[in-house]
Amino acid sequence: MSGVDRRTVIAAGATLLAAGGARAETPLPPVVIRSPAGAFAGASRNGVVSFKGLRYGRAERFRAPMPVPPAAGIVSAFAFAPSCPQTGKVGATSEDCLFLNVWTAEPDARVKKPVMLYIHGGAYSNGSVVDPLNDGHALAARGDVVVVTVNHRLNALGYLYLARLDPRFADSGNLGQLDLILALQWVRDNIASFGGDPARVMVFGQSGGGAKIATLMGMPAAKGLFHRAATMSGQQVTASGPLNATLRTRAYLAKLGVKDSDISPLLSMPVERMVDALSATDPVLGGGVYMGPVLDMKWLNRHPFWPDANPQGNAIPLMLGNTRQETGGFIDPDGPKVTGLTWDNLPSRMAPEMRVDILPEWVVAQYRARYPAWTPMQVFYDATTAARSWRGQVSEAEARAKAGVPAWVYQVDFASRTDPRRGAFHTMDIPLVFGTIDRAGSQTGTGADARAASKAMQDAFVAFAQTGRALWPRYDLKNRATMIFDTASHIENDPRRWQRELFARVPYIQPGS
């Protein structure tokens, strides 16, 4: 088996057992592969070998990441490495978080399976690939792809724009993106040893992960590192402007008590303080301070999808998807924005959540005329989804269609089986694509309906990884063909046309720009 040193498997297993490296997650002797990055011992379970916590780089605070020399000896790869420090709860965290994970059914350089590399959500400030819902085992167990998941720097550690305050940190506004580029370079150079094809790398990501992908598609340093892309409920029409990004940096520094004329205290400050300061009020959006990629004219020199689709990204086949009731995922039906909702207070409750400047009373009147049987809650979730979460996808799909380049669009209608009020909410597609419908956090249920929807999504994503083409017609401005993923998946032309046309009356401004 090319890339696997069989003679070292038993010896490595004995060594690792003696060192206490083998635990419940390694029921079989470790499988050792040798790659340009070093030799790694992975855990074999149910026909899939996982290699967790593989280092792809190192980085100093606010500096661009650097590759690392090949590892010495045989590296145990049985456990996830720490995630980036953040406000969310994701287990162990550390600034030293540049690690990736690989799942493969055949760690053999001769098989050359397409690679599916996942970038997690959580906007640009939170999230991790240690989430059980994006575990790669079930997807790799199909046997037709190699799965990779990547952790990288987030929030102030990955996107705090310091370049206009201190030229030493010219890269600081896009460090999280540079981490991902370094990870993709690692995949290019090493994935063949795990059975992957470096010429067929598909990136896919949900929410913030999809937005990071839309940004990567237009970054010159990422050119040629991936060959298909799929964004799941996450788009990036415009990046943060450097002036707004600097305003946010100043607000963040003020929260820390650091003068913008001397940012040196940041270099040695405990990371816990830096995470706490993310509660600083955003001077542009309100709420917690936004962090995201910056139009710094060094690494990112134009917006991803404004004034049109970035020509660099147009060479990459793109699949774009959203869920039918996105905002059900982050606006709690039992929370203050929805509890006690009536026709009288609906406009005022809905207005800030739509994120576009449109008369909310008029929007409510239009919905009531169109859908007279709907409740205030139904209107609330539909309008906030169509005006806010769906608009970026529509903008990107339309831009690709106008450019005459391939794009395929899907919509997830499969709804929560544990809280039907949320509908097909934001993140619903993660367990369906990964096949983790039985894992903690999934709201799909495990019945035949969920299994059918999951199989349909997996089939579509794997086919796209293999060929760079989806299983349904391309999106164009005549038909707007859209795959509807549900218990019985099917194709519809221009679903939600009424909502699309309603909100097309006002421009879409990417939050955080």
Please tell me whether residues 50 and 175 are part of one structural domain: yes
**Catalytic positions, please?**
207, 326, 426
pLDDT at 254 over 70: yes
Residues 322 and 450 in one domain: yes
Continuous H helices in 258-375: 271-276, 346-354, 360-370
Average pLDDT, the chain: 93
Contacts of 397 (CB under 8 A, 6+ apart): 320, 407, 409, 475, 480
Whether residues 202 and 79 fall in one domain: yes
Residue for token digits 């937005």? 211
Tell me: do 404 and 499 sit in the same domain.
Answer: yes
- Work out the percent of the chain whose per-residue pLDDT is above 90: 91
Structural domain boundaries enclosing 370: 317-503
The residue whose two tokens read 């981490």 is: 179
- How many other C-beta atoms can be found within 10 angstroms of the C-beta atom of residue 403? 15
Nearest to 44 by CA among 100, 106, 94: 106
Q: What's the pLDDT score for residue 143?
A: 94
Instruction: Examine residue 60 and state whether it is found in any structural domain, yes or no.
Output: yes
| Domain termination residue (choose one: 212, 232, 252) | 232
| In-domain check, residue 211 | yes
What confidence tens digit (pLDDT) does each residue in 147-167 have?
Answer: 999 999 999 999 999 999 999
Place of tokens 């003020």: 254
The residue out of 196, 213, 232 marking a domain boundary is: 232
Whether residue 369 is found in the same domain as residue 495: yes
Residue 56 confidence (pLDDT): 98
Taking the C-alpha atoms of residue 367 and residue 198, their distance in angstroms, rounded to an integer, is 49
> How many Cα atoms are found within 13 Å in the side-chain-facing hemisphere of 51?
32
- Mean per-residue pLDDT, 71-96: 95
For residues 10 and 118, membership in a common domain is answered with yes
Task: Give the C-alpha distances (Å, rounded to integers) separating 494 from 329, 397, 420.
Answer: 24, 12, 25
| HSE (side-chain half, CA atoms, 13 Å) at 90 | 25
pLDDT for 2 equals 41
- 334 Cβ neighbours under 8 A, 6+ residues apart: none
pLDDT of 1 > 90? The answer is: no
Q: Is 331 found in the same domain as 198?
A: no
Helices (H), 191-327: 208-216, 242-256, 271-276
The amino acid present at 10, given as its one-letter code, is I
One domain for residues 32 and 135: yes
**CATH code of the domain containing 439:** 3.40.50.1820
The whole-number average pLDDT for the span 64-80 is 97
Strands (E), 208-313: 228-232
Say yes or no to pLDDT of 436 above 50: yes
Q: Taking a C-beta distance cutoff of 8 angstroms, is the pair 155, 275 a contact?
A: yes
- Give the pLDDT score at 510: 85
Judge if 148 and 21 occupy the same domain: yes
Say what the pLDDT of residue 513 is: 83
Domain boundary among 185, 203, 232: 232
Same domain (yes/no): 219, 327: no
Q: Is 324 part of a structural domain of the chain?
A: yes
Three-state SS annotation for 165-217: CCHHHCCHHHHHHHHHHHHHHHHHHHHHHHCEEEEEEEEEEECHHHHHHHHHC
The bridge status of strand 196-206 relative to strand 228-232 is parallel
- Reported as a pLDDT band with limits 50, 70 and 90, residue 509 is confident
Q: Is 311 a member of any domain?
A: no
Q: What is the 3-state secondary structure (H, E, C) of 471-496?
A: CCCCCCCCCCEEEEECCCCEEEECCC
Q: Identity (one letter) of the amino acid at 138?
A: A
Element (H, E) at 149: strand 146-150
For the chain, the domain total comes to 2
Counting every residue written for the chain, the total comes to 513
Confidence band of 27 (pLDDT split at 50, 70, 90)? low
| List of E strands, 20-110 | 31-35, 38-45, 48-55, 74-76, 99-104
Considering the domain architecture, whether residues 221 and 358 belong to the same structural domain is answered as no
The pLDDT of residue 12: 40
Least confident range from 12-26, 72-86, 182-196, 375-389: namely 12-26
Instruction: Provide mean pLDDT across the span 253-258.
Output: 97
Least confident of 197-201, 352-356, 376-380: 352-356
In a domain, 512, yes or no: no
Average pLDDT over residues 295-306: 96
> Is residue 271 included in any domain, yes or no?
no
- For residue 190, tell me if it sits in a domain: yes
Indicate whether 430 belongs to any domain.
yes
Same-domain pairing of 329 and 470: yes
As a whole number of angstroms, the distance between CA 481 and CA 320 comes to 12
